[in-house]
Chain A
Amino acid sequence: MTQIALENISKSYGDVQALQDIDLIFTDDVTTAVVGPSGSGKSTLLQTINGLVRPSRGSVVVFGKPINYQRLPELRLRIGYAVQGTGLFPHLTVETNIALLARLAKWDAERIKVRTEELMKLVNLPLSYAERYPHELSGGEQQRVGLCRAMILQPQIFLLDEPFGALDPMTRNEIQREFLHLQRSEARTIVLVTHDLREALKLAQRLVVLDRGRLVQHGTCGEILENPANGFVHSFFQSQLAD
């Protein structure tokens, strides 16, 4: 089943065209990275998938059906979502942050505990952190908690909006390794927005390149690296990968 398809979508804010005529099917069960210079509409595109942004034209098909904008929470519970700067709730402990959705879904305590611990182990978080508050953790640790929280309900789709953007290179490297590990442990369709092409190439199998709201190229990493669609893609890759 095709889990995510964007059918000819456009989005404008007043006079500003954020997305223009994007027609795109995300390949199931692999990681697709959305790349492009800043302001190219990466984040907007990602947010059309969980309904945070509603396209002005065209339709978004998720889990085989066009999004029903009246029943967004239901859809979103099946889509993991993590953002830059973690977005952890400061008034909740690590454990309650991770388990919030499970608790609202009325899982029993034992199941919540098992799942929470499983996730924490998966991302190398010491279980002793469960009772801590987010501000007591380092940036990398917080990011891991954010990933756990997004995965608690075992979503089939996972949306990541620059999740590792704010981390120092060492930590980022570590988390990226754990991310690959995660991906292998529970296969799912992942859409990753990043401004860092190296990261995209490391974590994703497929790439989507955007420029000023338009889809420029879509394919596997190898295809695009070898056959950039046009001069823009070519120079974008050159500038990002050269140093």
Chain B
Amino acid sequence: MRTLIIFLLLFFLLGARALAATDQAVVVGSKHFNEGYILSEIIAQLLEDRGVQVERKFGLGGTLICFEALKNGNIDIYPEYSGTLAEAILQLSRRVSYAELRGTLKEQFAMDLLDSFGFNNTYAIALSRSFAQQRGLKKISDLAAHPDLRFGLSYEFLNRHDGWPGLAQTYGLAVRPVGIEHGLVYQAIRENKLDVTDVYTTDGDIKKFDLFLLEDDKQYFPQYLAAPLVRADLDRRIKKILGELAGTITDDEMRALNAMVILEGRSFAEVAHLFLSEGGLLQSKRQRVGESKWVTLFYRTVTHLKLTFVALVAGMVVAIPFGILAYRVRAISRPVIYIAGLLQTIPSIALLAFMIPLFGIGAIPAIVALFLYSLLPILRNTAAALFSIDPVLKKVSIGMGLTAQQRLRYVELPLAAPTILAGIRTAAVINIGTATLAAFIGAGGLGEPIVTGLALNDTSLILEGAIPAAILAIMTEWAFEGLEKLMVPAHLLQKPTE
């Protein structure tokens, strides 16, 4: 039994090393939304076409996660927007030029903001094309003359300081807009319940619902030019290759690419490949061969199990001794259990985000986070089981002359075993569930399709990860039941009351 555990440990540790070892590859990250995936896939495929080895770490949550990952060298490249950098990262209140932004990033963060892809994904004011023609509306300033129009705006836009309040002031608009969930806007316009709304300029839905974007003639909206953001010390050759993408995508084209994924259900890889080949950017005619779904599923499952298992074993190695310590030394029992409980209350996404500055992205921070989550159930069960051992047995074992070590080994731990095992089981199942979120920080596993599916609002893709994860959780329950039967005499197991 002991050899088996050591063997498994070694196996998984080696596995974890292999996961972490990606020596020479250029790591491309992406944010967790449609356009982010497409742009990153374009970057990755272009580099691969030029013979560069690429590792994809896609779907890395939001701006801060990607930026931190780049700063810490966990990724080498990811596509970012100029407006986001100015606003969210540098927190500048004034408008800055692209060149100025580039200089600041280089100076403060040793990052290069390469030339933009060309399109500007900013806010825009949209209405149905036919309606715009009918009223002769072309520019936002034309709106002032039509106070009867019905405005329905997303809540975020309504409240952002660079959203509606400033827009109304700049253009002298006197209407009172209503707030509406963005996902419902398109339908509302089609059914003529609304006239005007806010959109992102590259929304695939603009095409689908045939909306017309009014020109921002007073240049109120900041620019959100998308560009590859790279570490300054990245190989010059690679920067040069990426330079080929400069100015290759217009607003319309980006909208079309987004629509291909959202409306036609094509994969990111397919859309990126189409874009690169149509743009004549591919040199070698290498065809992308996709892995079969089952092979992908297998690898994802193995990665998922590795994350879970390594974290669980580490959790046991730490939590069981601490549980014993909490039992032996009353003074520390409460603090120890409270600290473990505190860790448990940190939301998973937040905990994963905390890990990034410390451990970067990938398998290691995910394992650390899962490890922290597995502490409480194991620790608490260990301590509780030891505390609840029949006092008569404790007294007898002391009175008959067993040393503290002997009592622990021959009496207390065996009696506590069923409860400790139950704690490990809880931790294992929690870990399998939480590990799906680890895909947000590039750890892979069954969370990958879930994260992508969430970005695309694609239920079948979400299920591709969620169903295997659920099955895995059930199988884990079974495995632990079996283990219980092997390790614990039947009469010590609590049976469900009949």
Contacts and interface: CB of A to CB of B under 8 A. Distances in A.
A133 B490 CA distance: 10
A116 to B, nearest CB: 16
A133 B491 contact: yes
Nearest to A159: B399
Contacts of B395: 52, 83, 87
Given A85-B392, A90-B491, A100-B410, A75 B401 contact: yes
Contact of A91 (B402, B406, B415): B415
A26 interface: no
Contacts of B398: 52, 76
B410 to A, nearest CB: 7
Name the residue among A52, A72, A90 with the largest chain B CB count within 10 angstroms: A90
A133 B406 contact: no
B267 interface: no
Contacts of B402: 73, 101, 104
A62 interface: no
Nearest to A76: B401
B401 A91 contact: no
B470 interface: no
Interface in A72-92: 72-79, 81, 83, 85, 87, 89-92
B392 A79 contact: no
A234 interface: no
B491 A135 contact: yes
A90 B492 contact: yes
Contacts, number: 61
Interface residues of A, number: 27
A149 interface: yes
A52 B399 contact: yes
Contact of B392 (A74, A87, A149): A87
A71 to B, nearest CB: 10
A91 B414 contact: yes
A6 interface: no
B491 A76 contact: no
B466 to A, nearest CB: 40
Nearest to A96: B410
B401 A149 contact: no
A77 B403 CA distance: 10
B401 A90 contact: no
B393 interface: yes
B5 interface: no
B319 to A, nearest CB: 22
A89 B399 contact: no
Contacts of A73: 401-403, 406
A102 to B, nearest CB: 12
Given A73-B403, A104-B406, A87 B489 contact: no
Nearest to B391: A87
Interface in A97-151: 100-101, 104, 133, 135, 149-150
A31 interface: no
B88 interface: no
Given A91-B488, A133-B491, 20 more contacts: A52-B395, A73-B402, A75-B401, A76-B399, A76-B400, A77-B401, A83-B392, A87-B392, A87-B393, A89-B393, A89-B397, A90-B492, A91-B414, A91-B417, A91-B492, A100-B410, A101-B400, A101-B402, A104-B402, A159-B399
Sorted nearest first, the 8 A-B pairs with minimum C-beta distance are A76-B401, A87-B396, A77-B401, A81-B399, A73-B403, A91-B414, A73-B401, A87-B392
19 contacts: A52-B395, A73-B402, A76-B400, A77-B401, A79-B401, A81-B396, A85-B392, A90-B415, A91-B414, A91-B415, A91-B492, A92-B414, A100-B410, A101-B401, A101-B402, A104-B402, A104-B406, A149-B400, A159-B399
